[in-house]
Structure 1
């Protein structure tokens, strides 16, 4: 009777389980670095879109309130703030770890006049982990700010 119950049992051997686990570990080790890089790239792209939105919000604030507003960078280019009359913070944002505005940028800050016009146009350069250096151009055409990545 003991032999019959052992013969009828079905399952996996220890060797088969070990083989499946080792294949799973190898696949995980290969896939994880790619997913980390992808997450970093997506995070940086989202932060760049959010920055561009904040630039437009700063311009809109200057137009609506008819006041000069400056978008400037702090903490080595990782944090940006829109400042009204060099005193009051209107809005702010932050780039993810490993992303910042570089010091080689021709534009160190964005100054908006009461009309919403940029007082100085030019390029800003941003250092990212996934794409390296990215440049963004700030210019005007027919009264609208144009941002080119």
Structure 2
């Protein structure tokens, strides 16, 4: 088997069956104009990309996937930035609302303190007299009356 594989070689073809090489003409090659039937496509970018995909090994599907990915990434980044700006605006609005409420609480607390401070003066204007000492009740010697039989009144 090895002997038959070696006997079939490109160099083993007899000279009579080999194609004859034509002698090269010494004349100068002629210049000719090659027209492009898709000449209109060369003027725009899409036409150039389309021509590039036809002439290269990259299929059109890869280019379409890349363009869709880039557009989706661009839209995603734009939507993310828009959402971040909106959240920032809402946070600033909430912070301003908190500051207004804190100011209102401080104003109300100041009014309450002022009313508490003026309470003794208003009570004396109305004729109320403050008790000088404190009153205490001593229940140590308290005995329950005998007429109630363990019930509460």
Verify same fold: TM over 0.5. no
- TM-score if structure 2 supplies the norm length? 0.30
Indicate the structure (1 or 2) with the bigger Cα radius of gyration.
2
- The one of the two structures with greater contact order (alpha-carbon pairs below 8 A, sep at least 6) is 1
Give the number of the structure whose residues are more often strand, by fraction.
1
| Greater per-residue helix proportion | 2
TM-score by length of 1: 0.31
